Structure 1
């Protein structure tokens, strides 16, 4: 049981690393930030914080929206919100991802980034420990509307882009490519791995709280019986 939990969390962290690498690739493609990163940069510039910190703040806001839409929050959701932004700062500051110096290399890096993001989502969502804030929103909307993933993700990307643009985030041809293409890359990878996000049963934080309460209640009952 413990080994299984540990392996789940290892898979979760690896998924987050892939997602952080994906964001770094798309930023360093140097063709304009992805829609969410336009938003993150806008917030970063306005508040004087790092991109990773802005990512965490946006994640917190989206988690609240997810809760309103009825999507339960899991440990994976919380860790996603904290760790992807942290890993992103480490990757960007370490300069391990090169910066593209021409259009062809930039487009290739964008495609690599979108593939890494989709694969990272398969890894961590498949753990059943809760979706990431943005992916949770995507899944919640899909459950309510039964619309294709690429359509829902596309609308989300465009909304993030509009807000980010008015906050002063940088846009370019890469912004358009990721706004339109990310949903399709996710759809392709999901189909490739026969991954159906709607079929995943997530263990949410409330489950663990109720389990702890049950254990405490049993211990109290047992103690009462022994005293009697």
Structure 2
């Protein structure tokens, strides 16, 4: 993802834009969890983290959304030695995504026809890119997994690309070993999410400066 479209850190607590940012954050987080639910219902493979959550659910019980929340909270603990500071968006990420995911899984039935699963996968990936642009563009704090990436980048001096690749490869390996779904959707997600997030960030990032 190009750095020129990433919003600079900082939280403005005055002006009318705060209301817009909080609303955008809430919608973006819920949409993110829902889009993951659509991807999982397609059963064609999703992101490495989705595979991990699926595997944990299959082996240890509890819903996939519950494990998304638990893993997010555990990753957030790794921020402490990395000296990362969470924002309201970070906490919201942990609390909202899993609920939205399990709600979507409860509403959208299991699909068997490939003619339905493929469009479901494509819609899920597209909406996931939009959701990423919305919640990051609100500039109220990164998600636990994004913060882990940037924290390791700062502490180790390694490139964002290398750090992200190592994290995703580790998580994907764990997901595969636990029996999580991996397939064409995993490849599609890996190739598409960066460009999609970059595109939507250009439109969803709330401008800096007060609008009051």
Pick the TM interval, shorter chain.
0.7 to 0.9
CA deviation string 1:84-127 (max 9, x = no partner): 101111111122x773621x653443333222222212211222
Larger radius of gyration: 1
For residues 15-68 of structure 1, give each alpha carbon's deviation from its aligned partner in whole angstroms, at most 9, with x where no partner exists. 112211220121112213432121101111222101110000110111122333
Pairing partner for 1:138 from 132, 149, 158: 149
Rounded Cα–Cα distance in structure 2 between residues aligned with 1:10 and 1:193: 16
- Distance in 2 between the 1:28 and 1:91 partners? 9
Deviation at 1:170, TM superposition (A): 3.0
- Cα pair 2:43 2:181 within 8 Å, conserved: no
Task: Figure out how many residues of one structure are paired with residues of the other and give that number.
Answer: 192
How far apart are residue 193 of structure 1 and its match?
4.0
Distance verdict in 2 for CA 1:147–1:3, change over 3 Å: closer
**Larger % of helix: which?**
1
- Give the 5 Å matches for 1:147-166: 147-148=160-161, 152-166=163-177
Match of 1:56 among 58, 69, 74: 69
Residue equivalent to 2:181: 170
TM-score, normalised with respect to structure 2: 0.75
Flag as ranges the 4+ runs of structure 1 deviating above 6 A: none
Structure 1 vs Structure 2 CA RMSD: 2.9
Q: Measure, in 2, the Cα distance between the counterparts of 1:125 and 1:100.
A: 34
- 2:97 is aligned with 1:84: yes
Q: Tell me the distance in 2 between the aligned counterparts of 1:177 and 1:86.
A: 25
Q: How far does the alpha carbon of each residue in 1:156-190 deviate from its partner, in whole angstroms, 9 at most, with x for none?
A: 33221111222232333323433x32xx4323431
35, 40, 49: which is aligned to 2:48? Answer: 35
Indicate the residue corresponding to 2:27 in structure 1: 14
Gaps of 5+ in 2: 1-13
Corresponding residue to 1:185 among 193, 199, 207: 193
With a CA cutoff of 8 Å and minimum separation of 6, indicate the structure with the bigger relative contact order: 2
Q: Is contact 2:137–2:201 with CA below 8 Å preserved after alignment?
A: no
Cα contact 1:51–1:85 (8 A) shared by 2:
yes
Contact 2:44 2:184 survives alignment (8 Å): yes
**Alignment partner of 2:84 out of 55, 64, 71:** 71
Which secondary structure does the structure 2 equivalent of 1:145 belong to? coil
